[in-house]
Structure 1
Amino acid sequence: MTDSRPTLSRRTLLRTATGITVGAAGAVLLTACGSDDDKTPAADRKPTGAPKRGGKLRAAFIGGSNETADVLKAANTPIDYVRARAIYDELCVLDADGRTEMQLAESLTPNADGTEWTLKVRSGVTFSDGRKLTIDDVLFTLRTYVSTQANQAPLLADLDLPKARRKDELTAVLVMKRPHGFLDLVFTQGIFIVPAGTKDFDKVPGSGPFILQQHRVGQGATLKRNPNYWGSAGPYLDELELVSIADGAARLNALKAGQIDYAASISLVAGKSERANAAVQLIIPPKWEWPNFGAMLKRSQDPFKDARVAQALKYAVDREQMVERVTLGFGEVGNDLFGKFLPFYAEDLPQRQYDPDKARSLLKEAGVDKLSLTIRTSDYEYGLAEGAAVLAEQAKKAGISIGLDKVPAGDFFADPKVFIGAKFQSANRKPRPLPLDVLFFYGTDALLPFTGVAGPKIDDLVTNVRSAVSDEQRRSSIGDIQHYLYEEGGDLVWAKAPVLAAATPKVHGVKSLGYPTFPSFRDAYLA
């Protein structure tokens, strides 16, 4: 197949595909769980009546030394991304069910084979400096993300932007380099629209619900309501204050002390301890947004070249125990596939059970008398080393010996070549729409071939997904590739668990919209 991968650094691709790896960090492994009552997590408490207008909401997020005001680099830290979502708009966003919802786009329609998409943007939208939104702003933004090799650039690799045809001030035809059936999903991935001709991306006006009032890198930002926002509902808040607090425990303590109203990304252990606290509500995102806990097996390397060895390891995992011991009862069992609870997920595949005897049998069929492995892992974020330790314990019953190569947190992602090329490695993969996962991870043209699954069969399946335009085609093509990966893939997913946030009882309307680590405050209000 033709290598159509963009000329971008592996580090950029790695950040794009894995997301900002934060969330439930800081928890510790428990070898036992609480009562059955603890298995049902607290949820965002639903208010009664219409949303209230006014007030100031203070929210704390993870920042860091690489915080920036540059909107093109908003993915650097969660606090940067949250600020960008408040100030700017995207063409499309994901709704609570993981489906596309139009934002600045009024319509986005493919032709029959996905080689062209007609985009029309909303009329009547203005940037905060008074300029009207036109299709020229969108074309400028897309070209800028590509030319600057921003984190989202790999997702735009199939767009042939020099061939884009402007039809009028609101409409353009976007030409693809090859059939592409899910440009709508690509536009949900943090491509923030800015005015054409922008040169200073630290101080660029947006069309979003809030306007930047003050920003101090490393400390936070103050935003005020955009009085000319084009939306029909929010924003409801007069002011939004974003505070940079790196430590999860410190964020929770600030919430309980009344210093903030919302604390992002608290640990599962903290969530477990706060379940009964009436002064704290735990906010849990939709299940499709929960990260996937597990490991990556490189199918292109021994001993995983034989699919039976990879399958044996999958049968050596007690997933129910993983949920209790690693996710502390917050999670749900995984089934060695991504996209559970998302549209088009293959629900007909049976749940893989813990069966050490079957694992032994598969190894025997593969001619493997004794399987000894080393898993690359780290305490970079919660669930990596903890899950690897439990896996090593469980696998013994199947006659599999697993040693842990615990890499320092600062080194785990430091060398993309090592991370992408690892034979057997812990993983905590953030979910994204299924067609985008296929684009990144599978086939000869995979941008990030973590599991090394390639060859004519998977390439044909990937091509079918890439070119699927209708929902029926997407459902069929994704079902086909998931059935193949269930048997032949190198993804070991033993559980899904949420990224928790905590807030005071008066906070409502904070929506993750695909990103629980950096949610949207567009519809947030104080009851």
Structure 2
Amino acid sequence: MGRRTSTLVAGLVVASLTLAGCGGSDTEEKKDDGGAAPGFANGFVVEPDDSGEPTRGGQLEVVTYSEARVLDPVQTIANGSSGGTEMAAVYDLLVRYDQDSETYVPQLAEALEPNEAQDEWTLTLRDGVTFSDGTPLDADAVVWSLDRYVEKGGGQASFLTHAVRRWTAVDARTVRFELSSPWSDFGYLLSTGPGMIVAKGSDQGEAFTPIGAGPYEQERYTPQEELLLTAREDYWGGAPALESLRFFPISAESGRLDVLRNGEADMGYLREAPTAQEALEDGLGGFMEIGSISRGLLLNHREGSATADGRIRQALMHALDVDVINQRTAEGKGLVSTGILNELSRWDLETEPLAHDVEAAKELVEAAKADGFDGTISFKGVAKVSEAMGVTLQGLLSDIGLEVSLDYVPSVTDLVNDIYVTRDFDMVIWSFGMPDRAVYPELYEKVHSSARGNSGGSADPELDRLIEELGAATTPEEQQEVLEQIQAQWNETVPYAPLGATPEWNAWGEDVHGIVPSIDSIMLFDGAWKD
């Protein structure tokens, strides 16, 4: 879901997407493009030409935003920016999100069917599918992998156990899921981390070994250099056309575009508006995904952090001049918003976020100082990548009486460690990533007090209640009403500081074919090939 991952868009085709909550939707599309950057689009940037006979052989070179150090869905966030695509190549997905039908369709599984009430779902597995170690992927294997995901605390484990009361192997090819309440988009869970089925053999050695039923298997991994995956001849869907996939990380956005331009990479992950605009002008294709809060400040609510004080969090929101931030960090090309849903979302909220108000921010800071706050706060980001944001925030927050220290780490992977392991931060530039079709699960995982993915440690019983109410909403009108209340409560507690959306773009050239997008910027390579 996690985890995230979104875009700035004009000419946006916002179809009738639901919240990944209950019920369908027939509300009108939002017609105002909000002045989004021209040329950005939700979906394929250039309509792919996948006609003709696939060329067999060759290696696809993929430059990544961050390094997937362990291909374990428990340990690695399953989205396109942090290893989700790499893991999908090894494990496949039980189901995937289909962009054309806007539904979840079978991938590794043969079928996923609900009962009439949509509170019980039956997963049917394909016959004869095996993991790369030769063991069968049957119902017992699915149950074991899901149990492992929960026991070891996977990123979406808390939402999985909230949404699903139990899963049971009915027979060798059938798994029954009994939900806590009706949910029409249950397939979402099986298209992300929980739907990446890990073989029992993965845990039998001293270190984790990635063993999956996907089209590729891990050949080697060299930290900070490369991850090499090689094709499985016995993949259930037939041997992939590509012999291998090579992933290598480059932290700097400009560096990723450079290797796409000079041919060192066939595919790359881009997410900054100015660079994406350059790539559009270069004629690159690929797939973009739109969501909300894909650019913002993760705030640490834990004791000892400056942002543990709700007054400081509200002061930050009042101090954030997103137009200034946009000019100084995105050349004025970003889609900015301090609301939980950006202006390209189909959910057009009437409830306004906290307004830019320097005087209100100053008063909140002074009140905190009167109670002993020392006026200092830290900003953490990635060296070079986050420095423009850090300096901009330093200036804006000094105007309200805050002294900002800047702390830059070498890579996104190091930043992930500080957020999820050491929890050493006050505020950090971070992507929430909330597609319209997954607002309910994403809100739950990111800010519900019981969610493991709540990396800021926010805990607000009223916001918890509203998120749960959102999941129980059965119509678009009910969902809209609850979202209005969530925005109002967000203004009170400020669990996270939204800044807007960014282009989450898996970019590739015209010589790459057959890549299939799913959700959360995860790409599938089982049918991929290149000229």
TM-score above 0.5, yes or no: yes
Does 2:485 align with 1:480? yes
Deviation per residue, 1:164-200 (Å, 9 max, x gap): 4443443333346x65857543333223124577765
Q: 1:224 aligns with which of 222, 231, 234?
A: 231
Q: In the alignment, what sits opposite 2:46? A: 45
**Structure 1 residue corresponding to 2:470, chosen from 440, 465, 468:** 465
CA distance in 1, matches of 2:489, 2:81: 35
C-alpha contact (below 8 Å) 1:316/1:395 kept by paired residues: yes
Aligned partners of 2:218, 2:447: CA distance in 1, in Å? 44
Question: Which residue is equivalent to 1:202?
Answer: 209
Which deviates further from its counterpart, 257-266 or 221-230?
221-230
* 8 A contact 1:138–1:193 mirrored in 2: yes
**3-state SS, counterpart of residue 145 of structure 1:** helix
Report the equivalent of 1:8: none
Q: Which deviates the most, 444-453 or 324-333?
A: 444-453
Task: Supply the distance in 1 between the matched residues of 2:293 and 2:287 (Cα, whole angstroms).
Answer: 9
Measured after TM superposition, the shift of residue 377 of structure 1 is: 1.4
Structure 2 partner of 1:156: 160
Contact 2:158/2:450, CA 8 A, preserved across alignment? no
1:417 shift after superposition: 8.5
Structure 2: gaps (5+ residues): 8-34
Structure 2 CA distance for partners of 1:228 and 1:277, relative to 1, 3 Å: closer
1:400 aligns with 400
> Aligned pair in 2 of structure 1 residues 268, 283: CA closer, same or farther (>3 Å)?
farther
Q: Which residue of 2 aligns with 1:58?
A: 60
Return the match for 2:267 from 262, 269, 272. Answer: 262
Structure 2 letter corresponding to 1:431:
G
Q: Which amino acid aligns with 1:521?
A: F
CA-CA distance at 1:332 after TM superposition: 0.4
Aligned to 2:388: 386
Q: Please name the residue that 1:493 is paired with.
A: 498
Query: Residues 193-221 of structure 1: CA distance to partner in whole angstroms, max 9, x if unpaired?
Result: 24577765636351x4x243844545432
- Superposed CA deviations along residues 41-77 of structure 1, whole A, max 9, x for unmatched, are 5983324573652243522234988734667656599
- Relative to structure 1, the CA distance from residue 291 to residue 142 in structure 2 (aligned partners, 3 Å threshold; closer, same or farther) is same
1:326–1:383 CA contact under 8 A, matched in 2: no
1:505 maps to 510
Deviation digits for residues 443-499 of structure 1 (CA, Å, limit 9, x no counterpart): 553546566654543343233235457766655544432332145434221222224
Q: Which residue of 2 aligns with 1:106?
A: 111
> Paired residue for 1:119, among 96, 117, 122?
122
Alignment of 1:355-374 (within 5 A): 355-356=357-358, 373-374=375-376
CA contact (8 A) 2:71 2:86 kept: no
What residue identity is the alignment partner of 1:503? W
Residue identity matched to 1:58: L
Q: Could you tell which deviates more after superposition, 353-362 or 288-297?
A: 353-362
Please say if 1:321 is aligned against 2:328: no
Distance across 2 between alignment mates of 1:71 and 1:412:
19
Alpha-carbon distance in structure 2 between the residues aligned to 1:306 and 1:70: 35
Distance 1:501 1:463, change over 3 A: closer
Q: Contact 1:212/1:223 (CA < 8 Å) preserved in 2?
A: yes
Please point out which of 507, 522, 525 is paired with 1:521. 525
Alignment pair present for 1:82 and 2:89: no
Report if the CA contact (8 A) 2:365-2:401 is conserved: no
**What's the C-alpha RMSD, in Å, of the aligned pairs?**
4.9
Give the SS at the match of 1:400. Answer: coil
CA distance in structure 1 between the partners assigned to 2:110 and 2:484 by the alignment: 29
Letter of the aligned partner of 1:144 in structure 2?
A: R
Asked if the contact 1:141–1:194 (Cα under 8 Å) also holds between the matched residues in 2, the reply is yes
Provide the rounded CA distance (Å) in 1 between the counterparts of 2:147 and 2:38.
47
Instruction: Give me the identity figure in percent.
Output: 17
User: Is the contact between residue 221 and residue 227 of structure 2 (CA under 8 Å) also seen in structure 1?
Assistant: yes
Q: How does 1:242-391 map to 2 (within 5 A)?
A: 242-246=246-250, 248=252, 251-265=256-270, 270-271=275-276, 274=279, 276-277=281-282, 281=284, 283=286, 285-288=288-291, 291-296=294-299, 298=301, 310-337=313-340, 345=347, 347-350=349-352, 354-356=356-358, 373-380=375-382, 384-391=386-393
Partner of 2:431: 429
How far did 1:333 drift?
A: 0.7
SS in 1 for 2:330: coil
Q: Distance in 1 between the 2:502 and 2:276 partners?
A: 12
User: Is contact 2:516-2:525 (8 Å) kept?
Assistant: yes
**1:74/1:80 contact within 8 Å kept:** yes
Once the two structures are TM-superposed, the CA of residue 330 in structure 1 deviates from its matched residue by: 4.1
Q: 1:461 to 1:269 in 2, by over 3 A?
A: closer
> Are 1:69 and 1:217, in contact at CA under 8 Å, matched by a contact in 2?
no
Cα pair 1:439 1:447 within 8 Å, conserved: no
In the alignment, is the contact (CA less than 8 A) between 2:220 and 2:227 conserved in 1? yes
Contact 2:375/2:403, CA 8 A, preserved across alignment = yes
Q: Indicate if the aligned counterparts of 1:290 and 1:498 stay in contact, CA closer than 8 A.
A: no
Structure 2 residue identity aligned to 1:142: L
Which deviates more from structure 2 when the two are superposed, residues 60-69 or residues 316-325?
60-69
The 1:300–1:496 alpha-carbon spacing in structure 2 relative to 1, beyond 3 Å, is: farther
TM-score by length of 1: 0.70
1:332 partner letter: L
SS at match of 1:401: coil
Query: For 1:286 and 1:197, how far apart are their aligned partners in 2?
Result: 35
Aligned to 1:13: none
CA contact (8 A) 1:507 1:526 kept: yes
